[in-house]
Amino acid sequence: VQLQASGGGLVQAGGSLRLSCAASGRTVSGSSLGWFRQAPGKDREFVAAVRWSDGTIRYADAVKGRFTVSKDNALNTGYLQMNNLQPEDTADYYCAATANRLVVTGWYEPRNYPYWGQGTQVTVSS
């Protein structure tokens, strides 16, 4: 599975961005697409995830109500709509895919995702 992330950029606080993650290669039914972010000097952290087959979704508490994850199965593409961005959202954002169906409780750990896209940088100015 190959993943290609795009859509990052520079935005003022309160602004919006939409990230895309295009998947190619063999995708496994029931697998999940996750979004993570990593700020300088910090560990990579879970942002959101969606299961391809049934649309089950989870969010990190820090982004609930501001970020929306979605998918287009026909295009094999996932999206992360980010609204009301704040300076603390500044980070490199990564999309990742699980190798098979994973229980939701496992979605939060980067080590459970064997496939990763390149990061796309999001910078939010105050």
Q: How far apart are CA 12 and CA 73, in angstroms?
A: 31
Residue ranges of the chain with per-residue pLDDT less than 70: 27-29
Give the per-residue pLDDT at 4: 95
Give the per-residue pLDDT at 32: 94
The two three-digit tokens of residue 57, written as one number: 């979704």
Q: How far apart are CA 74 and CA 15, in angstroms?
A: 29
Give the per-residue pLDDT at 46: 98
- In a 13 Å sphere around the CA of 97, the CA atoms on its Cβ side amount to 26
Other beta carbons within 10 angstroms of residue 93's beta carbon come to: 23
Asked if residues 43 and 76 have their Cβ atoms less than 8 Å apart, the reply is no
Give the per-residue pLDDT at 28: 66
Asked if residues 97 and 27 have their Cβ atoms less than 8 Å apart, the reply is yes
**Backbone phi, then psi, for 95, in 5-degree steps?**
-105, 150
Q: What is the per-residue pLDDT across 35-50, written as a single tens digit (0 to 9) for each?
A: 999 999 999 999 999 9
Asked if residues 3 and 116 have their Cβ atoms less than 8 Å apart, the reply is yes
Q: DSSP secondary structure string, 58-113? A: EE-TTTTTTEEEEEETTTTEEEEEE-S--GGG-EEEEEEE-SS---GGGTT-GGG-
Give the per-residue pLDDT at 100: 87
The two three-digit tokens of residue 52, written as one number: 């391809």
